Amino acid sequence: MLKLFLLVLGLLTFVGLVWHIGLTPIIEAATSLGPGAVLVILLPSVLMYVCEAYGWRLTLGAQAHRVSFWRLWAIRTAGEVVNMTTPAAYVGGEPLKAYLLKRHGVPIVDAMASVVTAKTIMTLAEVLFVLVGIVLSLWTMSAIKTPSLAATGSSPSVGAAMLTVTVLMFGTIVFLTIQRRGLFIGLLGLLRRCRIRLSYLESREEKLRALDAAINAFYARDRRALVFSIGMFFIGWLAESLEVYVMLYCIGPPTDVPTAIAIGALAVVIKGGAFFIPGSIGAQEGGYLLLLAAYGYSNLAGITFAILRRVRELVWILIGLVCLAALGGVRDPLAAATAEAEDDKL
Mean local confidence (pLDDT), 174-190: 79
Residue 71: the pLDDT is: 94
Residue 54: the pLDDT is: 95
| Domain total of the chain | 1
Three-class HEC string of 232-252: HHHHHHHHHHHHHHHHHHHHC
Sign of the CA dihedral running 299, 305, 307, 313: negative
The total number of residues written for the chain in this structure: 346
Q: Is the pLDDT of residue 284 over 60?
A: yes
3: left (phi over 0), alpha (psi -120 to 50) or beta: alpha
Residue 317: the pLDDT is: 92
Which range, 8-17, 107-116, 185-194, has the best average confidence (pLDDT)?
Answer: 107-116
Q: Give pLDDT tens digits for 59-92.
A: 998 888 899 999 999 999 999 888 887 655 556 6
Residue (of 235, 171, 232, 182) closest to 209 by Cα position? 182
3-state secondary structure of 203: coil
Residue 280: the pLDDT is: 74
Q: Which domain holds residue 100?
A: 2-343
Q: Is the pLDDT of residue 301 over 80?
A: yes
Mean local confidence (pLDDT), 113-125: 91
Proportion of the chain above pLDDT 90, given as a percent: 25
Residue 213: the pLDDT is: 86
- Give the end-to-end CA distance of the chain in Å, rounded to a whole number: 33
pTM: 0.83
Proportion of the chain above pLDDT 70, given as a percent: 83
